[in-house]
Structure 1
Amino acid sequence: MHLLNFSMPPVPHYTISGINYCGPGYRHLNRQHFKWFDLLVVREGCLYINEEDRSFEVRAGEALILRPDCHHYGTEDCREDTSYYWLHFQTVGGWHESSAPAAASEDITPDEDETAETSSPICSHQGTFIQSIPQYTTLLQPARMEELLAQLEQLKATAHLNSVRFKQQMLFQEILQQLSASMNPERSASQSKACAGQAASFLRSHYREEITTAMLGDSLNFHPVYIARCMNREYGCSPMEYLLRYRIEQSKLLLMQTSFPISRIAEEVGFNQAPYFSSSFMKLEGISPRQYRQRFS
């Protein structure tokens, strides 16, 4: 993992941000000698970007920071509708890139043997610390990140006020914390398990209702793509596959314990159409609902 290690204070500071909506055929800008770090957070679709000789495919629920001292450019056109937040920030403190987090007390002043590139001279100050941020990462809480970026969007109209500018900086510091938290493997695994468990509980509680991935994301405050990854990791299936299997399991209980007609059982477990219920049951169980019931009659 490539990490950007910032010496703090002074802290990196927010400059400006926005949101882009683009259709198929859009390609990211070709830029070099840029003045700012450029944070990209993809909401939907995928951005295909190179920074020097490194390639990135930034998908929904992922974030990438483009460095100010590197040439970056789009390598492919978007293949689908794509939207993403962008945010420019700067630092007057020192920073460097590494493959492992810097120690809290580490002096990141470069020496002649240091292999990591350093963007600026670094002074050692008593009381400073290092903040490590992944350059490219899957967000632990994509929905929270989008919420923070959306709040920055809403503040644009009043950004000339000192109180609002201070609030922008506070929101940006939480954004940095969100990025930093995503590189902790243990926390990531724990977060993934918790997210999958919450999703499973929601699906089990609402299986009789019509459920969409968007509804699930809104209820859990996680991006639907992240929820799907967590459930695939923990249960080996997507949320909708999990819901389908659970509905079929509930239908088996009704087939055994009641004399309800097949159409009512389909309705009881969340299927809008009995034929779809029967075909789904056949696909998972290898026999029809009627044949399954006959086993216990």
Structure 2
Amino acid sequence: MIYMHFESPPTPHFISAGEALYRRGDRHKKRSSIGVFDMLFVVSGRLYLMEENQHYIIDENQLLILSPDKIHQGYKLCDSETKFYWLHMGCAGSYYESEHLHPAKKIVNKSLFRDTMFYITLPKYIQLTEEKGKLLRSFIEPLLMFSINKYSNATEKFRTRLNPLQQQQHFLNILNLLNTDSKFSNAPDDLAAEIMQYMQNHYHTSFTMQDLARKFNFHPVHMIRCMKNSYHVTPIQALTTIRLEKGKELLLTTAMSVQDISEAVGFSSCSYFIKQFKAAYHTTPSQFRQEIQSHF
């Protein structure tokens, strides 16, 4: 199983939701790097979706969360009438996908005036029980804003009775229902947590594993082992991910050049930033910015 790990705060937030009714023979549209997470929950029928090269069959009471920076599309026509809910959510913080159930280590902060970091872990693709499926529908339905009907080829807009804060409260109920990692939410691992916190605060500066070892007064091998046990990545891998996510944020929110962004987030060269960005997101920074801007 693939899990999606969201660093919080900031907590993932609700953007919009709707329902869709597909006829037999309809297919989900192709979309690329839409910039939001797309949660799909099938009420009846079956959807055939692929994300990059991974194929999914989504049946009744099954849920799939599509990533904001990947291509997804229907790879096969619906073989029966299919009704599903879709929900768009955003995440201003970092996230990553893993085959491991992340233990959601509590990131230790020694100040009373700083947030305590934690992870929200959601399954990317899951079969819900009938009871959980009903509960999820009860949380989603008050959030519905749009109805897409392929029979009439029309999209209807709803007027929700919830104010923005109430919408977020309903969405938090959804996160709590799907969160697979809550039993680990207070598991202590001070060293790995402090290493992660340090890198999040100093990602824009240049440092090596030896620098981290001197900073925390531990052998690099021990630090790597702690990070891999807690986060399933080495410190350098985690640092690269943090820098890439910060770089992606600057691509979306500023007009800075790719060269300036690479320097701002701590990469030693622009070419290395582009290489790592393409390896992680299967597109270059410039192409990513253009693709996002084309949707607006």
TM-score by length of 1: 0.52
The CA deviation string for residues 123-150 of structure 1, in whole angstroms up to 9 with x for no partner, is: xx75010111000001231011111111
- Partner residue, 2:169: 170
Percent of aligned pairs sharing the same letter: 30
Aligned partner of 2:127 among 125, 138, 145:
138
2: CA distance, partners of 1:104 / 1:181: 10
Distance (Å, rounded) in 2 between the aligned partners of 1:60 and 1:9: 32
- Cross-structure match for 1:91: 91
**Distance (Å, rounded) in 2 between the aligned partners of 1:51 and 1:157:** 29
Structure 2: how far apart are the matches of 1:169 and 1:33?
A: 24
Secondary structure, aligned partner of 1:93 = coil
Once the 2 structures are TM-superposed, how far is the Cα of residue 103 of structure 1 from its aligned partner?
2.2
SS of 1:28's equivalent? coil
1:99 Cα deviation (Å)?
0.8
TM-aligned CA deviation for residue 183 of structure 1: 11
Q: 1:116-135 alignment to 2 at 5 Å?
A: 126-135=115-124
CA drift at 1:100: 1.3
1:190-209 counterparts in 2 under 5 A? none
CA-atom RMSD in angstroms: 2.4
Give distance in 1, aligned partners of 2:66 and 2:75. 14
Query: 2:95 is aligned with what amino acid?
Result: W
- Give, in whole Å, the separation in 2 of the partners of 1:101 and 1:93: 19
- Unaligned 5+ runs, structure 1: 108-124, 185-297
Any conservation in 1 of the 2:27–2:78 contact (CA below 8 Å)? yes
Relative contact order (C-alpha < 8 Å, sep 6+): which is higher?
2
Which one has a bigger Cα radius of gyration? 1
Is the 8 Å Cα contact of residues 7 and 94 (structure 2) preserved in structure 1? Answer: yes
SS at match of 1:175: helix
Question: Does structure 2 conserve the Cα–Cα contact (< 8 Å) formed by 1:158 and 1:164?
Answer: no
Letter aligned with residue 120 of structure 2: Q
Q: How many angstroms apart in 2 are the aligned matches of 1:59 and 1:182?
A: 24
- Is the partner of 1:47 in helix, strand or coil? strand
Q: Deviations over 1:161-217 (max 9, x none)?
A: 9x7110111111111122224999xxxxxxxxxxxxxxxxxxxxxxxxxxxxxxxxx
* Structure-to-structure mapping, 1:23-172, within 5 angstroms: 23-105=23-105, 126-140=115-129, 141-153=132-144, 164-172=163-171
C-alpha contact (below 8 Å) 2:102/2:181 kept by paired residues: no
Contact 1:137-1:183 within 8 A present in 2 as well: no
Kept after mapping to 2: 8 A contact 1:139/1:178: no
- Return closer, same or farther for 1:10/1:158 CA change in 2, 3 Å cut-off: same
Deviation, structure 1 residue 52: 0.6
Q: Which residue matches 2:205? A: none
Q: 5+ residue gaps in structure 2?
A: 108-113, 147-156, 184-296
Counterpart in 2 of 1:180?
179
Separation in 2, partners of 1:183, 1:73? 32
Q: Secondary structure of 1:15's match?
A: strand
**Distance change (3 Å), C-alpha of 1:13 and 1:171:** same
Ranges of 4+ aligned residues in structure 1 off by more than 6 Å: none
Match of 1:208 in 2: none
Tell me: CA distance 1:176–1:50, structure 2 relative to 1, closer, same or farther (3 Å). same
CA contact (8 A) 2:18 2:145 kept: no
1:60-88, CA deviations, whole angstroms, 9 ceiling, x for partnerless residues?
Answer: 00000000111111000000010000000
- Deviations 1:243-292, CA, capped at 9 Å, x for gaps: xxxxxxxxxxxxxxxxxxxxxxxxxxxxxxxxxxxxxxxxxxxxxxxxxx
Give the conservation status (yes or no) of the 8 Å contact 1:138–1:182. Answer: no
What is the aligned partner in structure 1 of residue 154 from structure 2?
Answer: none
Cα distance in 2 for partners of 1:84, 1:145 equals 12
